[in-house]
Structures are given as C-alpha cells and as structure tokens.
Chain A
Amino acid sequence: MAKQIHSDRVLEIDNIRVTFDTPDGAVEAVRGVSMHVRRGETVAVVGESGSGKSQIMMSAMGLLASNGQATGAVRYRGEDILNLPVKKLNKIRGAKISMIFQEPMTSLDPLYTIQDQLCEPLMVHGGLSRSKARARVLELLKLVQIPDPERRMKSYPYEMSGGQRQRVMIAMALANDPDLLIADEPTTALDVTIQADILHLLAELQARLGMSILFITHDLGIVEAFADRVYVMRKGQLEEEGETQQIFQAPATDYTRMLLDAEPSGQKSAPAADAEVMLSGKDVVVTFGTPGGFLRKDTQFTAVKGIDVALHREQTIGIVGESGSGKSTLGRALLQLLPSEGRVVYLGQEISGLDRAHMRPYRDGLQMVFQDPYGSLSPRMTVSEIITEGLLVHEPGLSQRERAERAAQALEDVGLEPSMRNRFPHEFSGGQRQRIAIARAVVLRPKVIVLDEPTSALDRSVQKQVIELLRRLQKEHALSYLFISHDLAVVRALSDYVMVMRDGKVVEQGLTEQVFDNPSQQYTRDLMRAAFDLREILREKLA
C-alpha cells in the first residue's frame, strides 16, 4: 500500500491575506501567502504560534471569527471557494474537504452521543437514512480502530480519552471520503505514545484511501516523520518551502535553521551525594471522591498510590508520565495543596496534615509554577502587583519601596525589564508570561519549586529560553526543582534524576542518563521510542 502522489492540485491558495478588525486597529494575520496541495500528497505548514498558519485554513473553510476578513483566492479543484456563501460552501466542507482540530476535548459536542454526531455529516451530505448512516458509522469507528465500536457509538465524548476522541474526529473527517484532510495540530494535546498511534493511523488511512493531507503543526519532529513537503511560516508570511528532506538537511533561511536548532539540549549533573534533603515524601497517597453510603455510589479513586520521593539541595527530579498518571497530583500533594496521606517532611519538619494557617510559614520556601501562563496570572492585576502579592503575606514588614526593589530584582532575574512592571499580563507573550510566573515564585526566595509543565504551552524556541532561565536561577539561588512534564526532551535537558509514573505508581526511577539510555521497563522504552523515534515507528509500521 505505497502512497501515490499525483501531479494535479487538489487545493491552491493564492496570495491570501487575512485581516482582523480589533479595537487597536486592523491586524494583518496573514500577508499574501500562496501554497498548494497535490492529490495524495502530505503537506505540512509549520511556524510558531501567531505565525498565521491556522488562520489560512480557517478562512479557506469559512470559519474566521466575525471580525476577520480574507482576500485572495482558495481554489478547490479550480473552483474559488474563498468567501463563498454558506449554502454553497456547505456542499464542500465536511464532504470534499474535512478538518480535524487541535482540541479533541472540546471539538465534539458534549451533549450528543458519538453516533449522533458522526451520523450528521453522512445524512446531510450523503443523504443517507439514519439506519444506513449508523451502519457506516460503525464501519468508520472500526476503521479508526476504536475498541468495542458497537458500545462506543452510544458513548458521549466525556466518556472517552483524548486519544479516542481524536480518533472519533478522524472518523468524522473520513465519513464522506474527502479529497483533502486539513489537520490543525491534531496531536499537540495528546501524549507521545498516542501521538504516534494517531499519526500512524493517518498515514495508513492516507495510503489506503488516497486523500491529500494538509498538516498544520509547530512540531518539527512530526513534520520530518510525516510530511512530503513543507511550508515554513513566520509572522504571516511564507519564509521557505520545499521537500521535507531538503528543508531538514539544507534549510535556506536562518529562521528555519533556528527552528531546527530549538530542540532542548544540555544536561545536568547530580548534586553531591551528601547534599541536604530539602523535601521528602514517604508513602504519599492521594484519593479523590467520596466513599459509598446510603443510596450513594462509591466514587473513590486513588490517583497517587504510595510514592516515596526525596529531593536534595540543587537537585532536579523530573517526573514523567502520560496524562492521568498522577504526576501533577503528586506535586500538589507534596506542597500540601491537596489532602493526602503519608509523611511529608520539609527541612526536617513534618508538614503533612498541617492546616492552612500552620502551613503558611513554610509556603514562601515551597513555590509552584503552573503550565498555563494564560490562565494562572490574574488578568486584572499589574505585573508588579502579581509579583509582590506573596511578599505582603510572607514579609509584611517590608516597606513599599523595599517591595518594589524586590520585584524589580525578580524581574531582572527572569530576564524582563523592570520598567514592564506596570503592565498587565495580556500585554505579554506566552513565554514572557511564564517568566512572570517564575518571577512571582522566586521573589519569595524559595528553596523548592514545583514546576508543573512550565514549558508545555510554549513554542520550542521560547521553551529553550525558559530552560536556560530555569538552569541559571537554580545555580544562582541553589534551588531544588520538582519538574513535572510529559515532554521527555525537556526533562532530559533539565533534570539529573527521573521518576517515570504510570497509574499513580512509579514504574522506574534513577539517574537521568541511566533511565534515558538504558530503560529497564517496557513502558519506559515505549515512551522513549514514541518521543524520540517517531520517524522510525511510522516507517516500521507502514512498511
């Protein structure tokens, strides 16, 4: 089943421009971009967030936000479909061109069953009766390898995992045998092992069904493994285009070279063996839900099942695992942000079971940085207010001037200008916001910081800067990190000790090199392969 690329073009985008009307004036998101997709071809559009790659596809599909305007041409088999009236466009979208979105959690309607939603495009476009549509849905679910498809048809999206939902989206996309599948970051929100499965599924279906795929992503690892041809976008313009191999081996522009070099690098040496233990947990257990009772079902669920951990001074422990493995829960439990069982000791003092008031004196030493730099900063506070809020609680004796000095120092520490202190979070980019979140933690001169996926929402190039920053801060302030991430490349670069978690338990742990180079467990090996050998996996499975 080798795939075939034909010379005729399924989609041609000609000098497209997308403008958004905002209160601050018109913003040009896309500035004159042309590209095409041939029949049977896989084309990747790469670029960092904000480069306009998604907006091109949104305008082609008539899905721009109401303040957006597109000019130029988008030709599907020669017919211009840009700005077509909805009724005419509806004959093409969902039938000839279909789309998969980034967010498998929210892209399906939570209030209808899988079967209901999959039947709709079949009945609308194919004119199928409900019973025929149902039969086809079952076929499709089998095609995308959903286990137990008869039962799954009647499930609601919330009853399925992210990977399964993305399979359902793919089934929906394939329902009417489209000529072109537009996939907008379809695996970004998924775990690496599931990402490999989904990409493999897409590649296999393409070879079997002969459709073209237009793949939008910021992940160059996927591009290399998956695409025939690449367009590189930057700030709304095309930076470079070419065959995948050529782009990867001989990039023509500095920007592409920078993207290719942005893989996290470096390593960390372990602290001295006699380094002081800063924070330790013994047999930590976290249980959610309520036990059963009169007319009440037991909803108890154990997320962390008895974990021991000891974090030394200047050590970075990387905690890796797929979503739902309990790694974030463990981090929060150690900081006493969640009720838990077991013994947690901070600097020789038992802190497990302390209530909020008794815990407060320890809080300045134990800080946390969260994944989402957009949601974790209050949009109504200035940067200076955000950073100094903790000082008001923990060092109430400071004068206003001293607080301002400490805030300026913290901003400098994380590489931001102190003159930015009176701005609001929304005026900053994602990377800058994450720096603000880190400044908020370091201003209290903590000893331990739990970093919960601090780089996951950032582009690779920005990620690299944040990694450098975390390294520098650790050295300057003798910090200990508990680094929680599903991104193995980042964990390898930052931590000296790794714990691999699965289903609330540690399946393997040890020094970073040892776990990465010589994993002893099959589960760890699978994780490593999915993260670092994506190309190999796809090639092997398709051969």
Chain B
Amino acid sequence: MLSYALRRLLSAIPTLFIIVTAAFFMMRLAPGGPFDQERTLEATVMANLNATFGLDKPLWQQYGIYLSNLFQGDMGPSFIYRDKRVHEILAEGLPISIQLGATALILALVLGAFLGSVAALRQNTKTDFSVIAVATFGITVPNFVVAPVLSLVFAVVLSWLPAQGWGQWNQMILPVIALALPQIAVVTRLIRGSMIEALRSDHVRTARAYGLPTYMVVGKHALRAAILPAISYLGPAAAALLTGSIVVEQVFNLPGIGRYFVIGALNRDYTLVMGTVVIVAVFVVVFNLIVDLLYAVLDPRVRYD
C-alpha cells in the first residue's frame, strides 16, 4: 500500500504540472490585465508597472519564472494586494477554509450515514419519504438562499447565534450548516441506496440467522458495506466544499480563501488566480488519494500492489 501511495503521489506531479500550465496560459488569453481600470493609466506608468511585475517579458519567460518560483514555494506578488505575496494571502485564509470544509464534511458523512440508514431500514414508510423529501430539498435549494435565510432566522430574528465573524466556536455553526446541507443530502441518498442493497445481501442474512442483535447486524455488517459508495464521493465533495464556500464566506463574512477566487478572477490578478488553482488542484489530488487509501482500509478485498 505504501508503494502504491508513493506511486500515486509521483503520478500527481505531471497532473499538477499540466493544470498549472493550462491555467497559466488560459488566464493570459482572457482579455484585459491587472492594471486596466476604468480610467486608463498613462502609458509610462503602465510600462513602469508592467516592468516592475515582469509583465513586459515574453510570455514563455514569465511562465518559466512563475514555475521556478512556484517550485521554491513562492507564488509571486499579488497585483491587487500590493504589499503581500500570494502564498501569504492564501496561508491566512486556508486554515479557516479547511476548518470550515472539514467540519462540514464530517457532519455530512455522519448525519448522512445516519439518515440514510434510518430511511433504508424503514423503506417505503413515512419516515423514509420524509427523509428523502428533506434530502431532495437540500440538494435543490442553493446555498445563496440557505445561507441568508439561516442568518436571518437564527442570528437576526432569534439572536441565538452570531451573524458573522470568525474566532469563536458558535460563529462556526451557521456557516458549517449552510455549507454541509447539500452534502448531507447527497450522502443520505447514497447511503440509503447502498444500505437497502446491503440489507438484502447474503452475509447480512447470515448475521440475522445467527441471532446477532439488530444494532450489530445494521451497524457492523450492513453499514460498513453501505458506506463504501459514500467514501468514493468524499473526493469530489471535498473539492466542492472548498470551492463552494465563496457564497457562505461572503454571507457570514469569513476570511477564508473562497472569496479570492472571485476577486482574483474579476481583477485579472494573475498570480492570485494561479495560486488558488494550484491549492485546489493539490487538494483534489491529495484527497482522492486519501479516499482511495481509506477505501482499501475499509474493504480488505481492495489491494493496491
């Protein structure tokens, strides 16, 4: 398994290289530049700025400089936040985004597994139908509706929880719920489907035939098989949580990295956009590897060698 993990990490290098290259050149194909404003700058000022940031060099040379800097852990200067390097900006926001996303992910998995199992055990009853109804609701209603409504109800009207900010535990509750809701819904539906199948399988019948109590039959034998499809979904879910936090971060005014996607892209802040792309790409690659390794831990039949 160790050699498999090593091989996967090695194969991630060309993947990341391709992503960085494609993103770099696509960004430059987009019209406009970081210093284009409503009022055009004087040509000499513009030339000065371009020279300072190295934008006057040929494109391939800029690409080479970017790559060599990136290799040394430097993501270059930001064009908007002029006093900071991109990796410094991202380093401030990343822990918050990760904390938010990870909490939402765990919540989605635990609650989704629970609700999905309950629905499967009570298949085609009122309980099942109401769980499915709630799950469908969670998938269809977008975040930019859920987040403001949560904020309005629990923060403004009821004043139970703070409406914004970061630093105290209770400031995390509303954003995590808003972020996790669609993921809870997806995991619930996945688990319900696989649980129904697992409950009908021969080895669960064996567990019943041997008089094991229901909590063992369901919790130990059926759930472990039923949770595997949900584990495969964790990879894409993690990416969705990281990139999908833009709205939630805006609504609850959180200093995560989500907003830099938008700010960077709108202002043609080349290095900031590149920085976020690299971070997300690394996350997706690493998370997919973690998911695959986790899969092997849960299912001994899966062998990577």
Contacts and interface: CB of A to CB of B under 8 A. Distances in A.
A178 B188 CA distance: 40
A53 interface: no
Contacts of A86: 214
A539 B212 CA distance: 37
Contacts of A89: 211
A107 B202 contact: yes
B85 to A, nearest CB: 36
A296 B305 contact: yes
A106 B201 contact: yes
Contacts of A98: 209-210
B37 interface: no
Given A90-B212, A125-B211, 6 more contacts: A90-B211, A93-B208, A95-B211, A107-B205, A109-B204, A156-B300
Contacts of A543: none
A62 interface: yes
B301 A158 contact: yes
A91 B203 contact: no
Contacts of B4: 295
A209 B236 CA distance: 55
B298 to A, nearest CB: 7
A155 to B, nearest CB: 10
A124 interface: yes
A497 interface: no
B127 to A, nearest CB: 15
Q: Majority SS of interface residues in chain A?
A: loop
Contacts of A101: 202, 205-206, 209
Interface string A157-169: 0100000000001
Nearest to B124: A66
B303 to A, nearest CB: 9
A110 interface: yes
Contact of B305 (A63, A93, A94, A297): A297
A121 B208 contact: no
Interface string B222-240: 0011000000000000000
Q: Which 9 A-B pairs have the closest CB atoms?
A: A94-B210, A94-B211, A90-B211, A106-B202, A109-B203, A93-B211, A295-B3, A121-B210, A99-B209
Most A C-beta atoms less than 10 A away, residue of B211, B214, B299, B300 = B211
B207 interface: yes
Interface string B180-208: 00000000000000000000011111111
Interface residues of A, number: 35
A204 interface: no
Nearest to B203: A109
Contacts of A103: 202
A498 interface: no
23 contacts: A61-B209, A63-B205, A63-B208, A86-B214, A91-B211, A93-B209, A94-B209, A94-B211, A95-B211, A98-B210, A101-B202, A101-B209, A107-B202, A108-B206, A110-B203, A111-B299, A120-B210, A120-B212, A125-B211, A156-B301, A169-B206, A172-B210, A295-B6
Interface string B16-35: 00000000000000000000
Contacts of A90: 211-213
A112 B221 CA distance: 9
B216 interface: yes
B7 interface: yes
Contacts of B204: 109
Contacts of B123: 66
A109 B221 contact: yes
Contacts of B208: 62-63, 93
Most A C-beta atoms less than 10 A away, residue of B205, B224, B298, B305 = B205
Contacts of B211: 89-95, 121, 124-125
A111 B298 contact: yes
B213 A110 contact: no
Contact of B301 (A93, A99, A110, A172): A110
B209 A111 contact: no
B15 to A, nearest CB: 18
A108 B202 CA distance: 8
B210 A93 contact: yes
A345 to B, nearest CB: 39
A6 to B, nearest CB: 25
Interface in B256-305: 298-301, 305
Contacts of B205: 63, 101, 107
A158 B6 CA distance: 26
Interface string A245-272: 0000000000000000000000000000
A353 B204 CA distance: 45
Most A C-beta atoms less than 10 A away, residue of B6, B206, B301 = B206
A120 B215 CA distance: 13
A99 B207 CA distance: 11
Nearest to A106: B202
Nearest to A116: B220
Contacts of A295: 3-4, 6-7
Contacts of A120: 207, 210, 212, 216
B6 to A, nearest CB: 7
A103 to B, nearest CB: 5
Interface string A103-142: 1001111111000000011001100000000000000000
A109 B221 CA distance: 7
Nearest to A109: B203
Given A63-B209, A295-B6, A111 B201 contact: no
A124 B7 CA distance: 44
B13 to A, nearest CB: 15
Contacts of B305: 296-297
B224 A111 contact: yes
A329 to B, nearest CB: 22
A297 B206 CA distance: 35
A93 to B, nearest CB: 4
Contact of B203 (A94, A107, A121): A107
Nearest to B10: A295
Contacts of B299: 110-111
Contacts of A108: 203, 206
Contacts of A158: 300-301
Nearest to B7: A295
Nearest to A108: B203
Contacts of B301: 110, 156, 158
A87 B7 CA distance: 50
Nearest to A158: B301
Contacts of A297: 305
Contacts of B209: 61, 63, 93-94, 98-99, 101
Contact of A111 (B7, B212, B213, B300): B300
Contacts of A107: 202-203, 205-206
